[in-house]
Amino acid sequence: MAKKPAPVPLLQLDNQLCFAVYSTGHAFNRVYKPLLDRLKLTYPQYLAMLVLWEQDNVPVKDIGERLFLDSGTLTPLLKRLEAAGLIKRTRSIEDERQMLIALTAQGQALREKAKAVPQGILAASACTVGEMAAMKNELVALRDRLNAALGD
Amino acid sequence: MAKKPAPVPLLQLDNQLCFAVYSTGHAFNRVYKPLLDRLKLTYPQYLAMLVLWEQDNVPVKDIGERLFLDSGTLTPLLKRLEAAGLIKRTRSIEDERQMLIALTAQGQALREKAKAVPQGILAASACTVGEMAAMKNELVALRDRLNAALGD
DNA sequence: CTCATTATAATTGCGCACAATTAGATTGTG
DNA sequence: CACAATCTAATTGTGCGCAATTATAATGAG
């Protein structure tokens, strides 16, 4: 017989928004790779640095909330950034449970080199700042709905 | 002094399309997790099964092209699917370099249970099929532009 | 036919991601 | 105060994701 199963549109890979998000994320990573190699950072490390360049000397928890990552991911990542001399990890005096993450002078200085990165991404994306912003807003709204659905 | 550095809008996390894609991907994963646990599949394994449900008995290379993944990722993943009894890996007779991946009866049967997954995702996304399709098309177009930029 | 070139998977090593657990600090309640 | 409940990180184990290398097979030029 070898009867072919009836196609189920929702099960088809190319119909899935989720796979579009997944594969676009990988494509972004590949574009970022050569740009971040110059900074000797991986993409998740770059994200952590973005957080710290906005607000320095913050607990791991805050970085985690900002990036939607937990200590299982962040602890080893931050240890690598510390080994690279970009940050300093110190335990908070007021609350000894907290590990405070602060930029070193070298970590602050790296921000200057990082300014070149977004330009490269924008060029590879081949869309206007306005288009990117619109898409970003749609995705953030979707992300928030997905995260809200988890709390049920 | 402790002079605060001037904000650079393009370096701000919440302005970045890329982070929106990255974090939305993680949010999707968290929503998929409980649905896929019932099938005993991880999300990348589910993607491989989607490919095989569309076309059975294909070489690893084809699955890789479809999912944008290489053998370093797929070989161990497929070995786990084989260990779970869902697929069979056999070397091609015509071209002995190729490893052909075919569904077992159990792998084919799993498709029925998988039909429930997209409904759950649609519900958690809280948007219409039309909105999802529009967003998917924008992302795929972006992905293709990013991938094209790599070939330069 | 021979030998370099190319193609397909597998392997190795490193860095995420995340669930589950553990350790230690803090808070809240009686 | 005592002590349970909560909070913050760290740790452990599994599974991607990818670069680099290796092994084997197929192809193509001379």
**Higher local confidence (pLDDT), B93 or B6:** B93
Distance (Å, whole) CA B16 – CA A118:
9
B44 touches strand C (CB under 7 A): no
Do residue B8 and residue A115 have CB atoms under 8 angstroms apart? yes
Percent of chain B residues past pLDDT 90, beyond the cut: 88
CA of residue A151 to C1' of nucleotide D6, angstroms: 19
Side-chain half-sphere exposure of B112, counting CA atoms within 13 A: 4
pLDDT tens for chain A, 152 residues long, are: 555 667 778 899 999 999 999 999 999 999 999 999 999 999 999 999 999 999 999 999 999 999 999 999 999 999 999 999 999 999 999 999 999 999 999 999 999 999 999 999 999 999 988 899 999 999 999 999 999 998 76
Kindly report the nearest CA distance between residue B71 and chain A, in angstroms: 16
For strand D, the positions having any atom within 7 A of a protein Cβ are 7-13, 15-20, 24-27
Closest residue (CA) to C1' of nucleotide D27 is B95
One-letter-per-residue 3-state SS of chain A: CCCCCCCCHHHCHHHCHHHHHHHHHHHHHHHHHHHHHCCCCCHHHHHHHHHHHHCCCEEHHHHHHHHCCCHHHHHHHHHHHHHCCCEEEEECCCCCCCEEEEECHHHHHHHHHHCCHHHHHHHHHCCCHHHHHHHHHHHHHHHHHHHHHHCC
pLDDT-derived band at B3, boundaries 50, 70, 90 = low
Do residue B125 and residue A17 have CB atoms under 8 angstroms apart? yes
pLDDT tens per residue, range B90-147? 999 999 999 999 999 999 999 999 999 999 999 999 998 889 999 999 999 999 999 9
pLDDT-derived band at B9, boundaries 50, 70, 90 = confident
Tell me which chain A residues have a C-beta less than 8 angstroms from the C-beta of B133. 15, 17
Hey, where are the domains in chain A?
Answer: 18-115
Query: How many interchain CB pairs under 8 A, A with B?
Result: 188
Domain B21-114 sits in CATH at: 1.10.10.10
pLDDT at position B4, please? 60
pLDDT surpasses 70 at B84: yes
Structure tokens, B13: 């996390």
Distance (Å, whole) CA B32 – CA A56:
34
CA of residue A101 to C1' of nucleotide D26, angstroms: 55
Distance (Å, whole) CA A41 – CA A46:
6
pLDDT surpasses 80 at B5: no
Residues 10-49 of B with CB under 7 A from strand D: 42, 44-45
- B69-90: average pLDDT: 98
pLDDT tens per residue, range B19-78? 999 999 999 999 999 999 999 999 999 999 999 999 999 999 999 999 999 999 999 999
Do residue A140 and residue B20 have CB atoms under 8 angstroms apart? yes
pLDDT at position B7, please? 76
pLDDT surpasses 90 at B151: no
Q: Which fold has domain A18-115?
A: Arc Repressor Mutant, subunit A (1.10.10)
**Cβ contacts of B132-138, under 8 Å, gap ≥ 24:** B132/A17, B133/A15, B133/A17, B135/A17, B135/A20, B135/A138, B135/A139, B135/A142, B136/A15, B136/A16, B136/A17, B136/A20, B138/A135, B138/A138
State the best of A12, A13, A16, A19 to mutate against chain B, taking most chain B CBs within 10 Å: A19
